[in-house]
Amino acid sequence: MTDTVPPGTDNVRERASAALDAVGATLPVGHGLTARTPITGEDLFELHATTEQETEDAIAAAEAAFRVWRTTPAPARGELVRRLGDLLRAHQGDLADLITIEAGKIRSEALGEVQEMIDICDFAVGLSRQLYGRSIASERPGHRLAETWHPLGVVGVISAFNFPAAVWSWNTAVALVCGDPVVWKPSEATPLISLACGHLVDRAVREVGAPPAVHQVLFGDRRVGEQLVDDSRVALVSATGSTRMGREVGPRVAARFGRCLLELGGNNASVVAPSADLDLALHGVVFAAAGTAGQRCTTLRRLIVHRSIADEFVDRLVAAYRKLPVGDPFAEGTLVGPLVSAAAAEGMRQALEKAVAEGGEVLVGGGARLVDEVPNASYVEPAVVRMPEQSAIVRQETFAPILYVLTYDDFDEAIALHNGVPQGLSSSVFTRDQQEAERFLAADGSDCGITNVNIGTSGAEIGGAFGGEKETGGGRESGSDAWRAYMRRATNTVNYSSELTLAQNVSFL
């Protein structure tokens, strides 16, 4: 591995300031929230944290904005999102800089995240003219049965650090064209990119004449999120984070009969069959497992390889891992940036210890890098661990670049191993056998919300609905018909006859 030494904190701070200036955003002066960078592990700025009263005011303003926004024609709402997409295009490099600075993503991944935001804006603009209902055959003569979709209300978005802007955009672009104001509580770890995105929405709002409170950003810790979760004026809470967080958020929103959209943990697996193109599989596995330093919800964490090819494939995998460049995410050629925090690195270390205690063998990686150069940061070597079985640690999600390797003898066993975890987000199979591919996609195949053939588990497109099953939460965001989560359905019966005919042949009076 060739390390690339990151720049100093002053350099990173200057780059962050330049990006914010280019976007036109101003740091909220105050205290209570610290912007830091995992590139050096040090603080950048002190920011004002949103108070309880400011959160209350924001929710009230969003509720008032809803009364105007819900009756604004949907194509006019789409014009706001169209303008936002234009601004994102104009500032793609600036926003990518902030994502790298706060989340540690390498340059291509940071630019890709902003492209994803642009893409969902394009999708949502088209959607603003396609919020279709249905005509339904009525059993009664002279009656018309139909369904219509109406704006739902204020949407509270709680996002995580690893996709600090894209997940927000999935929710916001769609919610806005559906007629819902958005109140966004970003991760405490990524206030700068959130500030920049919020400023661009504010600018688009002014330029198209939308209600000012149709989008607001709240900076703070979990107390701000709890206000959104518990406030009955917030019709939908879309929360991305750990399964533990979801166990708290879901019941609290349900207790007030609100709606939840949860995107929680993933413990994703790929099956590599004997017929697989091993070159293709190697590329797919390495990116899915080591990309974003293992900090995607769709990161590949379990590799299930047929016993007949396991030794050959694992040897090639280990060789590829030894060549992964670790270090400065801004540097050309770097493929693995830093973990977000020292706590993440400690979680990785503990997981590897447990894996060894449960019979595993660490084949490559697991060590710290650049300790002398940036002692406050957390750069690690992505690890491959051969496991004798799907033990307790394998069934847990560790948000770090650890890939557990398991073997199988027949395809039914592979599917059972694949499905034998509490999470159900993303999955894939590498095979040239059509029967195996179709079986993996079938009702008795993968139990995940995302199921792929001959690609890895990460890198979903915005055109499809994103989300998973089981402890992943069951929510769906982004494309397809995920827009329905942000609207309410009304079933309409219109009697255009002169007779009052009752359904089911009921006779009365």
Parallel/antiparallel/unpaired status of strands 143-151 and 134-136: antiparallel
Rounded CA gap, 459 and 453, in Å? 13
Residues in the chain: 509
Helix residue ranges, H only, 179-326: 191-208, 222-230, 243-255, 278-290, 307-322
pLDDT on residue 223: 96
Residue with structure tokens 């299930």?
304
Instruction: Read off the pLDDT of each residue in 37-61 and give the average, rounded to a whole number.
Output: 98
The pLDDT assigned to 1 comes to: 55
Two structure tokens written together for 282: 């190697």
| Sheet of strand 143-151: strand arrangement | 134-136, 143-151, 487-495
Q: How much is the pLDDT for 177?
A: 98
| Domain 268-465: homologous superfamily in CATH | Aldehyde Dehydrogenase; Chain A, domain 2 (3.40.309.10)
Give the mean model confidence (pLDDT) for residues 381-408: 98
State percent of the chain over pLDDT 90. 98
196 φ, ψ (degrees, to nearest 5): -65, -45
For 185-194, write each residue's pLDDT tens digit. 999 999 999 9
**What is the pLDDT averaged over residues 93-109?**
98
Q: 393 with 409: CB under 8 angstroms?
A: no
Contacts 24+ apart (CB under 8 A), 369-373: 369/1, 369/3, 369/326, 369/327, 370/3, 370/5, 370/6, 370/326, 370/327, 373/3, 373/5, 373/6
Q: 495: pLDDT confidence band, cut at 50, 70 and 90? A: very high
Cα separation, 476 vs 479, in Å, equals: 9
Residues 6+ apart with CB under 8 A from 283: none
- pLDDT of residue 483 exceeding 90: yes
Token pair in block for residue 39: 């590139």
Structure-block tokens of residue 495: 């009697």
Confidence of residue 509 (pLDDT cuts 50, 70, 90): confident
What dotted CATH number matches 9-264+473-490? 3.40.605.10
Percentage, residues of the chain above pLDDT 70: 100
d(CA 95, CA 105): 12
Tens digits of residue pLDDT in 50-72: 999 999 999 999 999 999 999 99
**pLDDT at 280 exceeding the cut of 60:** yes
pLDDT of residue 302: 98
Query: Nearest Cα to 405, choosing from 309, 476, 478, 503?
Result: 309
Could you give the CA distance from residue 192 to residue 12 in angstroms, rounded to a whole number?
12
Q: Which of 16, 22, 19, 20 is nearest to 36 (CA)?
A: 16
Report DSSP state, residue 377.
S
Dist. CA 249–CA 183, nearest whole Å: 16
Is residue 168 scored above 90 in pLDDT? yes
Torsion of CA 290, 296, 298, 304, to 10 degrees: 30
Catalytic residues: 263
Averaged pLDDT for residues 120-131:
98
Query: What's the rounded mean pLDDT across residues 1-20?
Result: 93
pLDDT tens readout for residues 289-320: 999 999 999 999 999 999 999 999 999 999 99
C-alpha–C-alpha distance, residues 149 and 283, integer Å = 43
pLDDT category, 3, cuts 50, 70, 90?
confident
Locate tokens 């004798």: which residue? 388
Task: Map out the domains of the chain as residue ranges.
Answer: 9-264+473-490, 268-465
